[in-house]
Amino acid sequence: MNEKIGRVYFGILGIITLIFGISDLIVTMGGNDFSWSILEISSEMFRGGWGGLIVISAGLFYLSSLKNFLEIHQLSKALMGSILIWILAGTDIFVRITESIPGGEEGPWFNSLEGFLSNYVPPYPSVIFLLPFSLIILFFVSKIKKA
Amino acid sequence: MRLTADERWNLIEEISNKVLTYGKFKHTLKDALGELTVKPLTGIPIAIVVLYGFWSVFSSFAGTLCTDGFFVKLFDGHFLPWIQSIFPGKGGWIYYIFVGDPVADNCFEAFGVLTSGLFVAIGVVLPAIFIFYLMMALLEDVGYMPRLAVLVDTIFHRIGLHGYAIIPSILALGCNVPAVTATRILETKKQRFIMMTLLAIFIPCGAQLGIMQEVIPESIGIVLLYLIFGYFLFGFILNKIVPGKSPEILIDVPPYQKPLWNNISRKLRMRLGGFLKIAVPFVLFGCAIVNILYLTGTIDWLAKTLAPLLTGWFGVPGETVGPLIAAFLRKDLAVAQLNVIEMSKYQMITSVVLVSIYFPCIATFVMLLKEGWKNLLGSLAVLLTVIFFYGGLINVIWKLLGVQ
């Protein structure tokens, strides 16, 4: 049962991840940032280009793990897909944290509470939306460890 | 005691029966993850994400948070006006050496020992080196570095090295001084010579990267691309012309493990201590020497003498001779100096590449000398050839693209 759920879940997540990664690359090639509701895609080469390649790789890791999902080597591929997303999302969050602490060129040493919090409002890059869904892999890893 | 072949085999069997236990090997999740990181198809995307994370954390911590967020404000807003007002003898040569330009409104342009020197050493380089070595120690302790060595082994064999050459190469991105020492993990004289030469010429140190991130954030990728291309191109050529052997190596790959904070803090303390003791005095000393050369008119004379080569062959302004001399003392200072010279974006890229591939900084120079004067002379001969041809080639590329 767990295997079937895992296959369906990471199959869907893999496809969505792949779509997000391809979108990152398309936007980067287009050269203009894209923003829609609470989603934003950067056209900057480093974040959009390399970041897009990483998101695509994560999607491919998920999709390649589907066959015989709970077998240790297959599960490790899904885990690696999630690790890729964690690193990318982690660096995106870290960038926001480093931008939110100082008070700006002309301002005080530290940011005001309002200024600090304003750095965390949407829009967010796609990988931030993938982050909570990628954490589900921990459930399957714990199952394997118990077994 | 001499044993026959049969007796030897019997002895081996006897020993192995005592020390070995047999059973079915069961893969764990860690083993499976470890395998993914060394296979090219899966290992390359993982290497990309590790390097991406490395660079992203490096630039946002050192650049956005520490330097732009706090140190620029501290040095430009408070320290510079204070030192300009209290330092005696405004307009005199001692003032010029220690404080620099009396009307400068930022430490990058003042160029005194106590202004630019301290700002570069403490405000730019220290946070860059700190975060670089912290992440490096994490990767080492987690067990990723040996896997990266396995992954890149084939590529490095093309330039006469093996996978472990990635260790001095990445260390050099922090500081070339420990990287030169780390070349001792390579087996043969040929390998050590190639590695030392390549890292002294083509690998920018953390200090330089920190300054490049400040001065040319939008062009840093192109500069690095030129350097990486040059690293492999001249590595390939050196492998063909330098006599000697490039043997294979067996790499012991440990399992992935949780990093020990004691270990990491000890490594960090040791490496930062080394940097503060060796590199910081050179930054301050370099600033003083360059100012003296400016005051005595040496740099103006050199700029005029070398102008045909600089403008004609390399396509950069004659004024870049100053930073090129400063580069021998500290490359980070040299890049900071380039910032105040008027030139196009493409001239700036060429200049930064020239500063990078120009003579190794004096601290690296001393380390190369410690490894043997023959190696040093050989490296310098390669370096002169590289700077002349590669610097000229970059200018030709811009001209062909019609962007110079």
Which of these ranges, B117-131, B268-282, B319-333, has the smallest mean pLDDT? B319-333
pLDDT for res B404: 63
Q: Does B53 touch chain A (CB under 8 A)?
A: yes
Residue B361's pLDDT band (cuts 50, 70, 90): confident
CB of B213 closer than 8 Å to CB of B220: yes
Predicted TM-score (pTM) of this structure:
0.82
As a whole number of angstroms, the distance between CA B286 and CA B281 comes to 8
pLDDT at B373: 81
Tell me how far apart the alpha carbons of residues B4 and B10 are, in angstroms, rounded to a whole number.
10
Q: What is the pLDDT of residue A1?
A: 64
pLDDT(A147) > 80: no
CB contact under 8 A, B69 and A79: no
Please tell me the distance from the alpha carbon of residue B205 to that of residue B200, in angstroms, as a whole number: 9
Residues of A with CB under 8 A from a CB of B: 45-46, 50-51, 53-54, 57, 60-61, 72-73, 75-77, 79-80, 83-84, 87-88, 90-91, 94-95, 98-99, 101-102, 105, 109, 141, 144-145
- Nearest-angstrom CA–CA distance, B54 and B290: 33
Residue of A nearest to B60 (CA): A95
CB contact under 8 A, A79 and B29: yes
10 Å Cβ neighbour count for B388? 13
Q: Does B19 touch chain A (CB under 8 A)?
A: no
| Three-state secondary structure call for residue B82 | helix
Any A CB within 8 A of B71 CB:
no
Q: Is the pLDDT of residue B125 over 90?
A: no
Average pLDDT score over chain B: 85
- Mean pLDDT rounded to a whole number for chain A: 92
Residue B173 has a pLDDT of 83
Of B295 and B32, more confident: B32
Q: Is the pLDDT of residue B162 over 70?
A: yes
Q: Minimal CA–CA distance to B111: which of B287, B279, B280?
A: B287
Per-residue pLDDT tens over the stretch A54-109 = 999 999 999 999 999 999 999 999 999 999 999 999 999 999 999 999 988 778 89
For residues B326 and B201, the answer to whether their CB atoms sit within 8 Å is no
| pLDDT tens by residue, B218-248 | 888 888 999 999 999 999 999 999 888 888 7
b/e per residue B99-122 (b: at least 16 CB within 10 A): bbbeebeebbbbbbbbbbbbbbbb
pLDDT surpasses 80 at B333: no
Question: Residue A75: which residues within 8 A CB-CB, separation 6 or more?
Answer: A65, A69, A140, A141, A144, B29, B32
What is the pLDDT confidence band of residue B46, given thresholds at 50, 70 and 90? very high
ipTM: 0.94
Distances in whole angstroms, Cα of residue A132 to Cα of each of A5, A129, B61, B90: 17, 7, 25, 60
pLDDT of residue A63: 96
Query: Are the Cβ atoms of B33 and A76 closer than 8 angstroms?
Result: yes
Mean pLDDT of A107-126: 92
* Residues β-bridged to residue A40: A35, A125
**Section B175-202 average pLDDT:** 85
Judge whether residue B365 has pLDDT over 80.
no
Residues 6+ apart with CB under 8 A from B154: none
Residue at token pair 């204070």: B82
pLDDT of B93 reads 87
Please state whether the peptide bond connecting residue A123 to the residue before it is cis, i.e. omega within 30 degrees of 0: yes
Contacts of B36 in chain A (CB under 8 A): 76-77, 80
Give ∠ CA A89-A95-A101 in degrees, rounded to 5: 135
At B121 the pLDDT is 82
Average pLDDT over residues B188-192: 89
Residue A121, number of CB atoms within 10 A of its CB:
8
Q: What is the DSSP letter of A112?
A: -
Q: What is the pLDDT of residues B71-113, one digit of tens each?
A: 999 999 999 999 999 998 887 888 988 998 888 888 877 888 8
Distance CA B74, CA B234 (A): 43
Tens digits of residue pLDDT in B312-332? 888 888 888 878 877 766 677
Residue of chain A whose Cα is closest to the Cα of B221: A46
Average pLDDT over residues B121-147: 87
Residue A34: beta bridge partners? Answer: A41
The answer to whether residues B167 and B146 touch, using CB atoms and an 8 Å cutoff, is no
In this predicted structure, what is the pLDDT of residue A40? 92
Report helix, strand or coil for B13: helix
- Mean pLDDT for the stretch of residues B162-170: 86
Is residue B194's pLDDT more than 70? yes
Give phi and psi for A125, each to the nearest 5. -70, 160
Look-up of token digits 């403008």: B311
**What pLDDT is stored for residue B367 in this prediction?**
73
Chain A residue whose CA is closest to B33: A76
Indicate whether B154 pLDDT > 70.
yes
Contact B69 A101 (CB under 8 A): yes
Contact between residue B171 and residue B185 where contact means Cβ atoms under 8 Å apart:
no
Residue to substitute from B52, B134, B135, B214, interface A, most A β-carbons within 10 A: B52
- pLDDT of the residue at B378: 86
